A and B are shown apart, each in its own frame.
Chain A
Amino acid sequence: MSLSEKNDGNPTSELEQNLEFLRQTYFFSGLPLEALKVFAYLCTREKFKQGEYLFQQDDDDGQAFYIIEGKANLEREQHAKIHVIRECNSGEFIGGLTLMGDMRRLFSLKATTDISCLIINREKFARTMEQFQGVMPKIFKALVNRIDSWEDHFLINRTDKCLECLRDLGVSLL
């Protein structure tokens, strides 16, 4: 409650800013404020220099990132070649699934500019989830919607360019 009552003269606290960031992510936006505040409190700010990796392929770092400022490339190394998949920009949330369970990275995320980001890790996520029992279904729902709309979008817009991929599609049927 007191988070909305601004303190006169005080600049916005990091916690309040974090809260605003989390509310912009599909993953956290549906959560009740009580739980959201705890996540905003538990996540940490980190800076990465241009050229540094936020995470690397094959690692299980168990972290989700919200890019506050800066840009990064999502890369995948295959057959000793590095392919840039796409560019991630400020405002993107990456790695929600990692919070839910053990998962090795299939990609690397490399900073192409200096980056400031918000990080929450699996352990903090799990311990908080234990305290807010009604919250998990909301997160599941958000994830399911996300996966479904991702594949829907892919099927409508992309499949004509990649007929080969069609055989392996169907992640929303898992």
Chain B
Amino acid sequence: MVKDEIPVVKRSLFSWILPGNLKFQLLLLVIIVVMVFARVLPLEMQKRIVNEAINLRNIDLLLIYSAIYLAAVVFFSLLKYLTNIIQTIITQRTTARMRKALYHHILTLPLNFFRKTQPGLVVNALGSELTLPGNFVGMAVSAPVTNILTLLAFAVYLFWLNPLLAAVSLSIYPIIVFLIPLLQKGVNRANKKRIVAARTYAGRIAEAISGIHEIQGNGAFEIENQKNDRLVDKLLKIRIVWSLYRFGVKTANGFFTSLGPFLVFILGGYLSIKGQLELGALVAFLSAQERLFDPWKELIEFYQVYQDGAVNYNRTVEYFDVEPEYQLAPKDREPLELDGSIEVRDLSFATDSGIHLLEGINISLKPGEHLALVGFSGSGKSTLALCIGQLYKYTGGSVLMGDREVSNLTKKDVIYNTGFVSQNPFIFDGTIEENILYSCRAKAGTNGRNGENGLPSLDDIIAILHQTGIFADVLRFGLNAILTHDRNKELIEVLIRVRKNFQRDFGEELADYVEFFDENKYLYFSSVSENLIFGTSKREEFKKTNLSTNHYFTDFLKQADLNRPLLSLGAELARQTVDILGNLPPDGVFFEQSPIAAEELDEYKLMTAQLKKKKLHELSDAHREMLLELALRFTPGVHKMVSLPQILETLILEGRALFREKISRDDPEAIRFYEMSEYIYSQTILNNIFFGKTKTANPKAQERINQSIIQLLIEEDLLEGIIEIGLHFDVGNKGDRLSGGQQQKLAIARVFLKAPRVLIMDEATSALDNKSQTRIQNLLETRWKKKSTVISVVHRLDTIKNYDKVAVMKAGKILEMGTYDELITRKGVLYELVGKK
């Protein structure tokens, strides 16, 4: 189809009107023609009712004409509704198609483009900026056709009724067509001035507010007020002129259109008195005349939508009118399978402004050879790696991959043969599994799960997890998962069984890191509600989140004298948390230790504002529930902003016993208390094995815990099952629930899983600890030597000894290249660098 061949940024706004909407637009046309007829028909009926029915005193005729009138009006309304629906469908479909096409285009633009483009701008362009153009396309056929046809129909009808009268009353419109644009120019001029003045004013206020300490320090209120007041006065004048013009347009339009009936009365009245015009015709004429105004108004509005829509559309597509540097996929062949050799000849790369970032680079690598790129930051290492990986388009020389010029390859050829791990890898929202399959899915062009459609199997994934050292992390995610009643039955049985062995074997060793559940002790790493209930329930009303609204439970709190102290604790928690986190983004790092979740923060902000003005008992029920909810979540070991008063701790411990007594009497089935022999469904797998909770997030402690747990899981043959659960861990937006190191390991894992012939690593291990770096380095040397060509931008010189070649770069040039030993013997730059280190 033609539309697919023209890039979206070259399409005019008009090109969206018919393609893809043809059927809807044609349907609209048919409906409009019928609609215009249905709009004029009542006028004729009006005339006949007056002239025939009333004049001849004929009731039958009156009823018939009225019925036709009514039918026409009903029919017209239905059709109008129908056109609105179709128009909306066209608008929405077109906007969606524009958004898709533009997004598809944007993703293919050169990396360079995004250096200068803020993400917010793209969001805005794809979101609000395309709304008006979409609206225009929806109206593009119906609005002008309907209104022009209606205008014409009315005009013809008017001429048919009385040519002279019609000519006189329509003579006003040319005046309006001439006058309105003139006034509109005035509006636009004043508007521009207003925008400039408003900006100056905003800047002035911003300046005053940020310099408020200076103003108050000098007591310079008068000076600042004068500066401000002058601007306000200026803005006031401009706004008045602007408003005068705007109302001028409105008034002129209104005035001239209402002059029409006046002329009709004068001339029509005269003709009627003289007997040259029937009374019915005059009534019909007046009606038609008045109804001219609506289509006229709609036409002017449509003109506005067109203007605004065209401006927005052109501005948007012009901004993104950049050519992608490479074709996405080959048209008439399968993607190439290259042999992994790399030949770089006299390569140079210059920026748009002519600065040479790379010059005269020559490298030759046989398939399977490993090259380390070394140098200070800014020496061009990353740029070179990006050029070889086709992410930057080199401006001179050549890069041959498997004897093919990289700049002539399609994107698909490149991703079939290379893997790229960047300095700041990006992890997308989704599960670990989705992210680990990301590169393989992209290569295969499918969204399947592991083992499907040629994607790696679970065993392959587990192997890669081990190799890249993210295994322990995924295991932990698995161990931190909460199992449900209906699934994982077998696993649960095993877990209860191993709990006892675990406490026997590791209990003492881990006592420093784990707080075991003990009925007689306050649990500082469990919430207030867990401390009170000390059990778990299948019933909805006893689930953690529902306790604050559960009357049985809130009544119990009152009995146990806990209600007010908890509300007061909740209030303090809300105040402190909002105070600290109030202006921070919903980032996992900030909310890990917060009792308020990121998405609840706004609600609690409003509530704390109330707390400043009101006493606890004056708050609304809803707000008190929020406070209670917060207090019930409070976990002293995690939420450090408030401390647990000793008296409240004692009250809660007493409350635990009281609650157990009460519920055992009232409803013995409701709660299953924590017992060594019961699985606790509200707790994670790990906490179930522990029969307690971990006290620390310290990496060393975690490592020790992991060691004992892994040993146990291997003995019980549970490892794979837990890893599979861990693979379903949701990494959060931009992977923010993962640490920097975990993100980097995941990024390495996803490329290793693809096992590319050419592997480009751009400081790919910079966020990893020593051990993990060494592990990855060993992996490269053992598993990838001779299999994949590796180009690695290296930030630590102790890892480069076993590379086949080392290239030392400075200021965009390779200073020396050879094996590590050769370069050290030569006592050149590398020797110096290593020495300095």
Interfacial residues, chain A to chain B (CB-CB below 8 A) = 1-3, 7, 9-15, 18, 34, 37-38, 41-42, 44, 46-47, 58-61, 102, 104, 119, 122-124, 127, 131
Contact = CB atoms under 8 A, between A and B. Distances in A.
B769 A7 contact: no
Given A2-B575, A42-B589, A12 B580 contact: no
A57 B36 CA distance: 87
Given A123-B589, A123-B739, A3 B576 contact: yes
Given A44-B697, A131-B585, A123 B740 contact: yes
Interface in B690-719: 696-699
B744 to A, nearest CB: 12
Interface of B: 512, 572, 575-576, 579-581, 583-585, 587, 589-590, 593, 640-643, 645-646, 696-699, 739-740, 766, 769-770, 795
B807 to A, nearest CB: 22
5 contacts: A38-B590, A41-B593, A44-B696, A46-B696, A46-B698
A44 B639 CA distance: 11
Given A44-B697, A123-B739, A123-B740, A10 B643 contact: yes
Contact of A10 (B583, B587, B645): B645
A102 B795 CA distance: 10
B770 A13 contact: no
A44 to B, nearest CB: 7
B730 to A, nearest CB: 19
Contacts of B593: 41-42
A23 B699 CA distance: 26
A10 B642 contact: yes
A2 B584 CA distance: 17
Given A15-B576, A59-B770, 6 more contacts: A15-B580, A41-B641, A42-B590, A46-B696, A60-B770, A131-B583
A149 to B, nearest CB: 26
Nearest to B612: A2
B101 to A, nearest CB: 34
Contacts of A7: 572, 642
A37 B643 contact: no
Given A42-B593, A59-B770, A60-B769, A14 B696 contact: no
Given A2-B575, A41-B593, A124-B589, A14 B643 contact: yes
A37 B580 contact: yes
Contacts of B740: 122-123
Contacts of A14: 640, 643
B589 A127 contact: yes
Contacts of A10: 572, 642-643, 645
Nearest to B569: A10
Contacts of A42: 589-590, 593
A2 B576 contact: yes
A104 B642 contact: no
A38 B580 contact: yes
A10 B766 CA distance: 44
Given A7-B572, A59-B769, A59-B770, A127 B640 contact: no
Contact of B645 (A3, A9, A38): A9
B770 A11 contact: no
Contacts of B572: 7, 10
B537 to A, nearest CB: 31
Nearest to B585: A131
Contact of A44 (B575, B642, B698, B795): B698
A7 B641 CA distance: 12
Contacts of B642: 7, 10, 13, 15
Nearest to B740: A123
Contacts of B580: 15, 37-38, 41
A123 B641 CA distance: 21
A127 B590 contact: yes
A59 B771 CA distance: 9
B584 A38 contact: yes
Contacts of B643: 10-14
Nearest to B572: A7
A75 B179 CA distance: 88
A13 B696 contact: no
A64 to B, nearest CB: 14
Given A14-B640, A44-B697, A104-B770, A2 B579 contact: yes
Nearest to A44: B697
Contacts of B587: 127
A148 B174 CA distance: 81
A41 B581 CA distance: 9
Contacts of A47: 512
B583 to A, nearest CB: 8
7 nearest CB pairs, A to B = A14-B640, A13-B643, A15-B641, A15-B640, A127-B589, A11-B643, A41-B580
A124 B583 CA distance: 16
B598 to A, nearest CB: 14
B743 to A, nearest CB: 10
A124 B740 CA distance: 10
A2 B581 CA distance: 13
A54 to B, nearest CB: 10
Nearest to B739: A123
Contacts of A44: 696-698
A59 B739 CA distance: 17
A166 B643 CA distance: 52
A131 B582 CA distance: 12
A52 B346 CA distance: 55
B645 A18 contact: no
Contacts of B770: 58-60, 104
Contacts of B739: 123
B599 to A, nearest CB: 18
B567 to A, nearest CB: 14
Nearest to B642: A13
B584 to A, nearest CB: 6
A59 B774 CA distance: 12
B193 to A, nearest CB: 34
B378 to A, nearest CB: 15
A18 B579 contact: no
B515 to A, nearest CB: 14
Contacts of A34: 583
A3 B585 CA distance: 21
Nearest to A47: B512
A7 B512 CA distance: 31
A30 B583 CA distance: 21
B276 to A, nearest CB: 81
Given A38-B584, A124-B589, A3 B579 contact: yes
A18 B640 contact: yes
A123 B592 CA distance: 14
Contacts of A13: 576, 640-643
Contacts of B698: 44, 46, 119
A112 B640 CA distance: 28
